[in-house]
Amino acid sequence: MNEKTIVDPDQMPLVVAVDLGGTQVRVAVLRGSTLLSRVSEGTGADSTPDHLVPRIYDAIQEALDESCSELDQVTGIGIGVAGPLDSRTGIVFAAPNLSGWHNISLRDRFQERYRMPIFVENDANAAALGEYMFGAGRGCKDLVYLTISTGIGSGVIVNGQIVGGTSGTAGELGHMTVDWRWRGEPCNCGNIGCLESIASGTAIARNAQEAIGEERGRELLAFACALQQYTGEAGQPDPPVHNYMNHEHFARERDVEAPPISARTVWLAAQAGIPLAFSLIREAAEALGVGLVNIIHIFNPEMIILGGGVTQMGPLLLEPALQIVHDRAMQVPRRAVRIVQAQMDADAGLVGAGALVYHSLNVNGVFQREGMMVGAS
């Protein structure tokens, strides 16, 4: 029997969720995984804590007003931060793209203003908890969450708890070395050959950008030029770029500036049958497969949940990765693991931040005491 408590989301108390990213702050009032309101704004030119934190307070008030709720109806505030931090002390070690965020006692600042439990957690860890409580991971106690977008974030849940490590920074699976002979640029973390350096959207785009500077990238460049023409004004999401070689003159005429190529462009190019685009995605996919094998060997998880924009590439990315898992992972943990798509993707940060509060209530037995338990699934 699975002992995990599943709580009826409609009976859950209100929480406030804050998702603090490098360029955006999002705030929401939630009941369970349902967003009752949402406020989103840029971190702005002055993103120092003294300036940004009061703006978050204002955004919280705005989110409360929008959801027609009062602060005293809120049970707690969960804050997900894109950066290394210690969730036990609530100290944010650093926040990329935000100036002056070094060793900031974020929880204490919020605690001074709000008389309720405040939880601070790395955003990917929070998102892992969101999937665990409300998404693909319901009914499962050991899971690994990997979100692949511009970078690769991750969270590890073992026996129902986020694995934090001794300083709170455990579970940085995007920074596991998958190529120890890496000759490229070092990763942001200082290491070389990180999974993030090879399999993130930024890595796919970087490799594509390098290729279009060479003869082998001519076809991809022509495709990107054609795509830019189709999407340049109307911004149509999925233009039918089949006759892209008509645009080959763009590629030849070097006085026309080449458009920036995103991972999404590479994906569309692969769908249009451009071999280079296939091989660029395949390289990322194989690194991802190696990363998954390592995850399976280290954690023997019940589930690996894949989220983030790059996983929208679907079979093109996932099939080669899963083939490597099939070929290389040890049989017993391989047979035990389910590798699935995330369910909370669009609001992963906010649902995850809210889940920090709910998880603490669950761990402390509040849901059970108040008779909210509706049984295990």
Footprint of Zn ion (CB under 5 A) = 175, 187, 189, 191, 194
Give me the half-sphere count of Cα atoms (radius 13 Å) on the Cβ side of residue 277: 23
Q: Which is nearer to Zn ion, 60 or 199 (CB)?
A: 199
Residue with tokens 């579970």: 171
Shortest Cβ distance from residue 189 to Zn ion (Å)? 3
Q: Is the Cβ–Cβ distance between 168 and 90 less than 8 Å?
A: no
Shortest Cβ distance from residue 194 to Zn ion (Å)? 3
Q: How far apart are CA 276 and CA 91, in angstroms?
A: 45
Q: Which is nearer to Zn ion, 74 or 194 (CB)?
A: 194
Residue 146 neighbours by CB distance under 10 Å: 27
Shortest Cβ distance from residue 268 to Zn ion (Å)? 28
Shortest Cβ distance from residue 146 to Zn ion (Å)? 14
Nearest Cα to Cα of residue 28 among 67, 54, 55: 67
Q: Which is nearer to Zn ion, 109 or 175 (CB)?
A: 175
Q: Which is nearer to Zn ion, 187 or 270 (CB)?
A: 187
Shortest Cβ distance from residue 38 to Zn ion (Å)? 31
- Beta strand pairing call for 24-31 and 14-20: antiparallel
Give strand ranges (E) for the chain: 14-20, 24-31, 34-42, 74-81, 85-86, 91-94, 102-105, 118-122, 143-148, 152-158, 161-162, 303-307, 338-341
Q: Which is nearer to Zn ion, 45 or 180 (CB)?
A: 180
